[in-house]
Structure 1
Amino acid sequence: MNSLWKSERVPGEVELAIGCAGEGQDPVVCLHGITAQHRAFNAAARYLGPSRGLVGVDLRGRGDSDKPESGYSLETHAADVVRVLDHLRLENVVLAGHSMGGFVALATALAFPDRVRALVLLDGGWPRVESTPEEMTEEEKHEAAALQEGLARAFRRLDVTFESPEAYLDFWFPDQNLKMDDLPQDLADNYLYDLGEVEGGYRPKASRAAAEEDSPSVSSTSPTAEEMRGVHCPVALVRASQGFFPGSDPLISDEASDAMAGPLDIRTEILLEGANHYTMLWPEYTRVWAPRVFDPPFWER
């Protein structure tokens, strides 16, 4: 169904699946969220593929990459990213990370600074706050609860066998009775690639064990604002105005954005009015943020 991507395998003890879009010699390397896969970037591939080229990575435990029982962390994902770069003979790249992918992108820039030219943080990569529950403000408690609620919903589907792809759409779009043909091609392809056939129907490809091991790794090892001073490349920050759910507070608040602006060299910041954490990658919003980030490239301004 999807002709955007050319699929490849990156060899290693844990093999990784990647997709390459376009023929550009300097592709943007894209890293997805905690239970997603590279087709989340279909709209970006449609926009950027013809001019720059784009590489989408299925992080270990997701998509068509291998799924070991354990061994998940930001450090491991960062090393996997470098394996992808080595496989493609890319020395120095722009990394774009959505959600958890933003934290992976930051971890890569900190651990392998010579391999990262610039970062595009898409609703991910906010600074870790070192405080106990007793020390948290009411706003911080509210933000943490909203994050956990969104993650719980995303994780919940990983245990479900869906009767059909349309039943999977019912999970994401309840009471709308949608069929794949009702969606734009690139969006339908994302949901279809997200599923693998199993006995009795379809199940999301993402490993629950991977998600459950990565989640505390992000919350306990992602960089604080002070540690972000070790990132020496330019950054573009793109925020959705809503969180996981329509009408919810954004995952990156104005306060968190301000905290990032001190240590990071943020050259471009975009707030996508009306978008939530998921829809910001859909075509209507990608057409807003992609040209503002890449035309001309923000790191060259």
Structure 2
Amino acid sequence: MRDQTWIKDPVPKTRDTPGLALWKTPGERPAVLCLHGISAQHRSFNALASAVETPLAALDLRGRGDSEKPESGYGLAAHAEDLIRTLDHLGLERAILCGHSMGAFVATRFACDHPERVRALVLLDGGWPREEDPEAVSEEDRKALEEGLARAFSRLDRTFASAEEYLDFWFPGQKLRPSDLPPDLADYYLYDLAPVDSGYRPKASRKAAEEDSVAVAAQSLSADELRGVKCPVSLVRAEQGFFPGSEPLIADAVRDVMVDALDVKREVLLPGSTHYTMMWQPHVAGWSQLVENTGWTGE
């Protein structure tokens, strides 16, 4: 295991596109580009960076982290344009895309539209097919997804007096300090905050999160469109949803559709994990080898 220190390598802005905060771990030019969830940032991959020797790159998607936050202009097509700029900036013709949650939807859309730039996909509890008939989605599933997103989005309008108050949002009643958490997890929460006059605000833009939430529902790939993703895929699923004891976001029936449509080479189901905890130890140990040992990609 090595220090997971990230080195900033910004992708410059252009007249029509925002500047992006790209981060790399020490080592040779990375072949893996990590894409985070809808209101997160690149340090959700801290535990992965600590677990592998393979050099990684990770992007703060536009509207998140230290990337610029335009008033509008989000959605899967905008993120795809940013990925092309990022790969060009890294000097990579093709990359393995490792996407968690919304990052997985960005990855599948990009792999379908730009197959020449993608070597393989690692999908972490995301990238499931868009339901073309909204009535086919059960009220229970719709409510669970809406509640999970609403909880994450609710912090984006708030000012927190301290890092401890922010941790209390995530871990109610536990009165945690950053020093009480594993270092890679504490670093995630501390990076998530930007100082303001009266305390700290989460860096993610609520406008970005809300616009992308609508875009994922409308622009992600259908089951038929997923068949257009020709590269090898590893699929990693959390056993539970957003909250302990909740139903998984990728149920067995949805998993079956994905496996039928995609060229899935490896599958991992993480016992005891949620959509969030799958990104941290001990659960990362269950899927980090997909990034470390890429023989499954066929190259």
Query: Normalised by the size of structure 1, how large is the TM-score?
Result: 0.95
* Shift in Å, 1:110: 1.2
Residue matched to 2:27: 23
* Shift in Å, 1:132: 3.5
Residue matched to 1:36: 40
Could you tell me which amino acid in structure 1 is paired with residue 127 of structure 2? G
Residue matched to 2:183: 185
* Shift in Å, 1:294: 3.6
Matches for 1:1-301 after TM superposition, within 5 Å: 4-13=5-14, 14-48=18-52, 50=53, 52-133=54-135, 136=136, 140-292=138-290, 294-300=292-298
* Shift in Å, 1:159: 0.7
* Shift in Å, 1:141: 2.2
* Shift in Å, 1:211: 0.6
CA contact (8 A) 1:31 1:57 kept: yes
For residues 105-154 of structure 1, give each alpha carbon's deviation from its aligned partner in whole angstroms, at most 9, with x where no partner exists.
01111111100000000001000111143xx26xx321111000000000
* Shift in Å, 1:292: 5.0
CA distance in 2, matches of 1:22, 1:283: 21
* Shift in Å, 1:68: 0.1
CA contact (8 A) 1:91 1:115 kept: yes
**Secondary structure at 1:18 match in 2:** strand
CA contact (8 A) 1:26 1:53 kept: yes
Could you tell me which amino acid in structure 2 is paired with residue 35 of structure 1? S
* Shift in Å, 1:78: 1.1
* Shift in Å, 1:216: 0.7
For residues 263-291 of structure 1, give each alpha carbon's deviation from its aligned partner in whole angstroms, at most 9, with x where no partner exists.
10000111101000000000211111112
CA contact (8 A) 1:37 1:62 kept: yes
- For structure 2, which runs of at least 5 residues remain unmatched after alignment? none
**Secondary structure at 2:221 match in 1:** coil
CA distance in 2, matches of 1:213, 1:38: 20
CA distance in 2, matches of 1:77, 1:57: 11
For residues 39-89 of structure 1, give each alpha carbon's deviation from its aligned partner in whole angstroms, at most 9, with x where no partner exists.
0000111122x2x21001000000000000000010110110111100010
Could you tell me which amino acid in structure 1 is paired with residue 29 of structure 2? Q
Q: What RMSD in Å do the two structures reach over aligned CA positions?
A: 1.3
CA distance in 2, matches of 1:127, 1:269: 17
CA distance in 2, matches of 1:76, 1:170: 34
CA contact (8 A) 2:29 2:90 kept: no
* Shift in Å, 1:293: 5.5
**Secondary structure at 2:258 match in 1:** helix
Could you tell me which amino acid in structure 1 is paired with residue 8 of structure 2? S
Could you tell me which amino acid in structure 1 is paired with residue 98 of structure 2? A
Could you tell me which amino acid in structure 1 is paired with residue 92 of structure 2? L
